[in-house]
Amino acid sequence: MKIGKNIQYFRLQKGASQQWLAEAIGVSKMTISYFENDKRRPDIATVKRICSALDVSLEKFMAFSDGVTLSDGSFQKSDDKSDDLSATQKNAILAQIRYSAQRYYDACTIANVDCSKSALPIDKVPMPDSLVDAAAYMRKALDFPISGPVGNLTQILENKGVYVVAVKQDDSKVSTKGFFGYHAVSNKGFAVIAFNEEMTCVCQRMALAEGLAHLLFSDASEHQINNTANHFLLPGPDLIRELGRKRQNISFKEMQLVGKEYGVSGQCVVLRAREEGIITRETYSRIQNGKHYPADAYKNDEQPVRLLQLVCRAYTDNLIGISKAAELLNTNTSYATELCEGK
């Protein structure tokens, strides 16, 4: 049983360095590095000292060591920002995502749910030359109509076997500021898409759509992925129907109404209007330079629910007790009781 990733996760969750942990348990920094990279295995006495230093119970520390690993993954960038996350931030966020994926896998195992067979075609295909074709492929992968608003994208992805993670700031003392999204495939067969819970709902939806595009397409630039996600969420024929074929301007109210219906930002509405030729480049530049965008009107909840559903099922069927439910949900028993029993 390899526990290096567990040591790293709980260390990062505490906001501690390898040097701090080494001094706390009386070993060298190099030893901690060996532990975390599974080059050396700590004995049980050392594991107990690690748990004590990191304020985690031995049971919780050892519970998630069945080896969920993530591959073919990368951090996603919002279109107008560079990837400025530090190595410490990336490690902490990755540890949180992996730990959540491990708990999901354990919940599936307990509830006798096969999470290895995704209904999503995650064998990548080359990015089509046409953004319209790429967006259509994404919709087909979700068994979705070629046009029309995309509803709760988290639930749609979860129903296709994708594990969605909302990365929380309070799960780690390392800041998640600047984190947009992440995608990967686990060694257990299920895909993972993560987004920053602190973002607005429309940004969360964009991170999910871009994560889906990354999972489906190979050899695509971040710019292509971003544009494809925009087309996926707001198809051209729909936008022409909503705004008309040719316009001299687009009002705040129109941006809000279309944005609310399709779950996108006002900026996305204007950008797509330019791409579809509804407004000219000059009109787009005038709006863009004036930053004439309303606040996002779409407020629907994109929070994941699949893990909670599995834990509630296992708890109701007496497969686990409330302590195990709390462990899987990464919370205390009082709140786990409230979640599982509706009290």
In whole angstroms, give the CA distance from residue 184 to residue 16: 26
pLDDT tens digits, 271-291:
999 999 999 999 999 988 877
How many Cβ atoms are within 10 Å of 194's Cβ, its own excluded? 30
Tokens describing residue 138: 């994404």
Q: Contact 246/273 with Cβ under 8 angstroms?
A: no
User: pTM to 2 decimals?
Assistant: 0.83
Q: Any idea what DSSP says for residue 292?
A: -
Q: 128 — phi, psi (to 5°)? A: -60, 155
In order along its 343 residues, the chain shows pLDDT tens digits of: 567 888 988 888 788 899 999 999 999 999 999 998 888 888 888 988 999 999 988 777 776 555 788 888 899 876 545 457 888 888 888 888 988 998 999 899 889 899 987 788 777 899 999 999 999 999 999 999 999 999 999 999 999 999 999 998 755 567 888 899 999 999 999 999 999 999 999 999 999 999 999 999 998 888 999 999 999 999 999 999 999 999 999 998 999 999 999 999 999 999 999 999 999 999 999 988 877 688 888 888 899 999 999 999 999 999 999 988 998 998 899 999 999 998 6
